[in-house]
Amino acid sequence: MSRIGKKPVPLPSDVTVTLSGQKIEVKGPKATKTFTATDDVTITVEDNEISVTPRGKSKRARQQWGMTRTVIANMVHGARDVFKKELEIRGVGYRAQMAGNVLKLNLGLSHDVDFPIPDGVTVTAPKQTELVVEGTDKQLVGQVAANIRDWRRPEPYKGKGIRYKGEYIFQKEGKKK
């Protein structure tokens, strides 16, 4: 096991943290985030570092230990910078464009897909075949990118569909006569 929870989370100079009980609030130039940890872990802030320790030796305490540390590290990063997921669209006639707060996808279906963008995330289409999903919440950015990708997953024969930038799709050989 990795024990990621043992590593303290360093605090940059432009990020402030307030801790009250199990509730932690992180303020930065980009966003303000709050998180309430379970009673299985103890959070301490000292010397510009946040450390998380388990309150017991149970399996749940060890699970919450690493998860809580990772969530706090993502909050600190999101308060300072944005998370970004890039998608690319491959296929003849497949394209995307933004219309206000709605992403319009033309994916070879009998209808166009209108995907409403949730609050806290911005989606841009620099080209018709590229999408950039950005936001300060890592979980939300990843979920929105996955939801967009679910409309037309890449298929293994021609590689058509929506994929993450740099994702490799194993190409299968077609039928032989």
Q: Where are the domains of the chain?
A: 9-80, 83-164
Tell me which residue of 94, 78, 97, 100 sits closest to 163, measured CA to CA. Answer: 94
| % of residues, the chain, pLDDT over 90 | 86
Environment class of 115 (CB within 10 Å of its CB; exposed 0-12, middle 13-18, buried 19+): middle
Same fold, 9-80 and 83-164: yes
pLDDT for residue 3: 84
Per CATH, which fold does 83-164 belong to? Outer Surface Protein A; domain 3 (3.90.930)
CB atoms within 10 A of CB 46: 8
Q: Looking at the predicted structure, is the pLDDT value of residue 125 above 90?
A: yes
Percent of the chain that is helix, strand, coil (3-state, to 5): 20, 40, 40
Per-residue model confidence (pLDDT) at position 2:
66
Q: Classify domain 9-80 by CATH number.
A: 3.90.930.12
pTM: 0.87
Sequence length of the chain is: 177
Average pLDDT over residues 128-140: 95
Q: What is the pLDDT of residues 36-72, one digit of tens each?
A: 999 999 999 998 999 999 998 999 999 999 999 999 9
Q: For the chain, what is the mean pLDDT?
A: 93
Tens-digit pLDDT profile for residues 78-115: 999 999 999 999 999 999 999 999 999 999 999 999 99
Percent of the chain with pLDDT over 70: 99
Per-residue pLDDT, averaged over 116-132, amounts to 94
pLDDT of the residue at 20: 93
**11 has pLDDT over 80:** yes
pLDDT at 1 over 60: no
174 — pLDDT class (breaks 50, 70, 90): confident
